[in-house]
């Protein structure tokens, strides 16, 4: 089951999403986390911390869970 992550803006960068979803503690950890872990956006491996996530996007992180971006 996907965890729903609500955003109030048009999009959220992947690095900020990781912090909002409580996968990392600080935004500064995003670059390291993406270089050490697999993160799939809509089924495609993506390591760009600036990747824009919009409502309807799905993020899967093996070992951390599955997430769906939703409008708030």
| pLDDT for res 34 | 96
Q: pTM to 2 decimals? A: 0.92
72 residues of the chain, pLDDT tens digit each = 789 999 999 999 999 999 999 999 998 999 999 999 999 999 999 999 999 999 999 999 999 999 999 998
Which helix or strand (DSSP H or E) is residue 7 part of? strand 3-7
How are beta strands 3-7 and 65-71 bridged, if at all? Answer: parallel
* Separation between Cα atoms, residue 32 and residue 36, nearest integer Å: 6
Structural domains of the chain sorted by starting position, each given as residue range(s) with its CATH number in brackets: 3-71 (3.10.290.10)
């Amino acid at each position: 089951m996907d965890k729903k992550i609500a955003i109030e803006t048009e999009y959220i960068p992947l690095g900020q999403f990781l912090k909002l979803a409580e996968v990392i503690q600080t935004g500064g950890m995003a670059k390291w986390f993406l270089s050490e872990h697999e993160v799939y956006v809509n089924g495609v491996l993506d390591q760009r911390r600036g990747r824009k996530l919009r409502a309807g996007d799905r993020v899967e992180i093996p070992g951390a869970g599955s997430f769906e971006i939703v409008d708030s």
